[in-house]
Chains A and B, each alone.
Chain A
């Protein structure tokens, strides 16, 4: 919030329905911060690493938090996570996995690759809204970003 024009949230979501619900949930949760959406893994990486379509962007202009789905076209979420966390320029960006999967394997892998949090999307919208509120509250308001 210190940088008024900076992106606060990078939401990586390929599913239109989920995207709309998520945005609605953020709105309902009154998270008015700037939200950048990436529709697949490649797009997310381009944005973060300032490549491709986002080559003109400054890499120092990092989002406050990345909400990352795992099942993504082109480059899947786990690969995106690995790349962010293995790049010294980006590895301090908090990454929250936001997925439908309750698979233990996914949870374990995500944390091993440096995910900062793992949230299962609830089926019930009320719960979904509540989860989004809590994510926003924590990562945008309470968490002090690194440097």
Chain B
């Protein structure tokens, strides 16, 4: 084991050497570390004053980074107060405490004297009594500043975000709200706690379908811009109206769990509405411009060097404008007024001056104008849409002008009627207020126009006359009323009037009242009534008288009919008897005398018959029915054939309208007139009788014309008298009653008969029968 000791000592030496070496290596290592580390490193000896308070320290050792970190050079062996006299006391206190207690300190603090900020680790080294402290420190001024800047920037951003009207949100990869500003909360109508940390799908449920695919793209790193329309929600602000938002997704930092998306939300509803309004306005304007009724021209004013309008350029017109001026668009647009309308400056309407003023000074004008080219009236409206420009719009108003003119004429006419009426007239309102009166009203009431208007209905109507109230009721019910009622004059006298009133006006709020004083008429009516009564009395008496005389006449006729003929029969009969019984003993002359007696009696018999027939006409009632004159005349001609069977008479029958009359009486008329014509053409070789009718002043006039003996018109007044004859009996036989009968019948039909004749050349008899429906005199 001898070898073991030696070996042990050798081993120990080697160990020590190795330890020394290791130590040296370690010391080298640490020194190199000490010198190569970025952090400052120093070992100090803390200096205490007599009261045990650390007041300074001395640098024992510093590393290479020390100078760079502190800006202090040649520090080793020197005191801190030497190097930086203003170094804060707290540094000495901290290091003093480390040196005294051995408790390491780790802190960050500012060294104003060095204008740096340090993160410091300090711990005691060596024997405590040496009061040595090792300090590892790092200048963190840059980091602190960066942190401060970051803090400031964050504060700024937060302030901006919070005060922004733009909604700002940060979303996490799991689609939750990391942050949402108040503007965003306001947009959603939620409070921020309702949003923070919530899932987007929960908060935006109603539009999440639209949001989701876009969020996917954003989280995939794409910047996404889109507009989102959110239907209006009940119970929220802007309820009922859709809102439109411009939304931007801005992807942030990487992907996976740590990715973020910033959401920017701008409410563009108003902008959208404004855009829509503008678009609509433009569409409306275009539609207006394109309308067919209003002619529109947009023009720019041309001025001289003094700024006065001297012309204008027509920039744009519509089709209607083309139509009214009758010039093609191509020849108008771009041209000046003077080019398009030569002589425009001489027109009655000063287009250039007036429209130029509108263009230059703004405002608007309205006027009316007349176009010779179309012969129409137009209303003209011009305004300035932009400085130096004007738009002029023409609307055709010819019909309106005509209607106005007609209305004016009509108004003037009615005003004239109103003013000049002899009846008092009032225009009133239903409450009785008088708006207008005419001069007749002033005269009637003895008041001025003003007084009448002041008096009103209440001051004019007789308050004791209940008919006024009834009339008002009726007028309300039927719109008009008419009746008799009393009014009061200015002097208090009452008068009876006929009042007529009618409501007029489109709202029925005017009425015309016409008042006519009928005092005079009433008196006249009373007089007429009395006169009528007297007259009726007289008529009654006269009728009785007439009836009496008629009766007498009848008795007379009857008596004539019976008694006058009996003696004639005796004369005739006994003359005949003498002739038969004693004729042979009578000389020829005596026989002739008897013959004369017989003829005389016969003729007297004829006269009596005719006279009786004539007098019967006055008494015989007339029975009217439609009479076919043509048929009647041909029947008469047939009956009369025996009168002229040996003669040549040319009958011409023309148009014979029917009439209303007594057929048998009219037949007598025709028979008498035709037989006259036949009789008085008796000495004509070629007799001609024309029958016809003609229209005179709308009345049918029948006529019978012959080429017979005629008569002298100076005797025409005797023609229709009873027993009046214009021919001797040896020329033409007759009793002179035929035409008297004709006249009596025609008169009884309400007609007229007259004749026209030339002696020896013929006569024409005319007669009328009252047309149908006319009163027939009986």
Contact = CB atoms under 8 A, between A and B. Distances in A.
Interface string B413-448: 000000000000000000000000000000000000
Interface stretch (A13-21, A29-37, A42-50, A82-90): A13-21
A71 B616 contact: no
Interface in A112-147: 121-126, 128
A128 B566 CA distance: 12
Contacts of A70: 562
Contacts of B604: 123
A104 interface: yes
Contacts of A110: none
Given A18-B569, A125-B569, A101 B609 contact: no
A70 B609 CA distance: 18
Contacts of A101: 558, 561-562
Contacts of B268: none
B363 to A, nearest CB: 102
Contact of B576 (A99, A100, A104, A126): A126
Contact of B601 (A24, A100, A103, A123): A123
Contacts, number: 65
A125 B562 contact: no
B572 A102 contact: no
B83 interface: no
Contacts of B605: 123-124
Contacts of B602: 123-124
B340 interface: no
A1 to B, nearest CB: 28
Nearest to B619: A105
A104 B616 contact: yes
Given A100-B563, A102-B609, A123-B605, A17 B616 contact: no
A24 B561 CA distance: 23
Nearest to A101: B561
B566 A100 contact: yes
Contacts of A71: 562-563
A103 B569 contact: no
A19 B391 CA distance: 125
A71 B565 CA distance: 13
A101 B561 CA distance: 5
Interface in A64-120: 70-71, 99-104
B573 interface: yes
Contacts of A126: 576
Interface residues of A, number: 20
B13 interface: no
Interface string B614-633: 00100010000000000000
Given A71-B562, A100-B561, A101-B562, A121 B577 contact: no
Contact of A103 (B561, B576, B598): B561
B687 interface: no
A49 B558 CA distance: 29
B573 A128 contact: yes
B601 to A, nearest CB: 6
A18 B561 contact: no
Nearest to B599: A124
Contacts of A17: 566-567, 569-570, 573-574
Nearest to B558: A103
Contact of A123 (B557, B569, B612, B616): B569
Chain A at the B interface: SS class: loop
A30 B574 CA distance: 19
B518 interface: no
Contacts of B616: 103-104
B252 interface: no
Contacts of B722: none
Contacts of B567: 17
Contacts of A99: 562
Contacts of B558: 101, 103
Given A18-B566, A100-B561, A24 B572 contact: no
Given A17-B570, A101-B558, A103-B558, A123 B565 contact: yes
Interface string B133-158: 00000000000000000000000000
B76 interface: no
A107 to B, nearest CB: 12
Given A101-B558, A101-B561, A104-B616, A124 B572 contact: yes
A104 B617 CA distance: 12
Contacts of A103: 557-558, 561, 612, 616
A101 to B, nearest CB: 5
A128 B570 CA distance: 11
Contacts of A24: 573, 577
Nearest to A71: B562
A124 B574 CA distance: 10
B576 A121 contact: no
A32 B168 CA distance: 162
A15 B573 CA distance: 14
B187 interface: no
A100 B562 contact: yes
B569 to A, nearest CB: 5
Contacts of A125: 569, 572-573, 575-577
B111 interface: no
Interface string B552-596: 000001100111011111101111110000000000000000000
A103 B616 CA distance: 8
Contacts of B573: 17, 21, 24, 125, 128
Interface of A: 15, 17-18, 21, 24, 70-71, 99-104, 121-126, 128
Given A21-B570, A123-B565, A125-B577, 5 more contacts: A21-B577, A100-B569, A102-B612, A104-B620, A125-B569
23 contacts: A15-B566, A17-B566, A17-B569, A17-B570, A17-B574, A18-B570, A21-B573, A100-B561, A100-B562, A100-B563, A100-B569, A103-B558, A103-B612, A104-B616, A123-B568, A123-B569, A124-B572, A124-B601, A124-B602, A124-B605, A125-B569, A125-B575, A125-B577
What 3 pairs between A and B have smallest CB-CB spacing? A123-B605, A17-B570, A125-B573
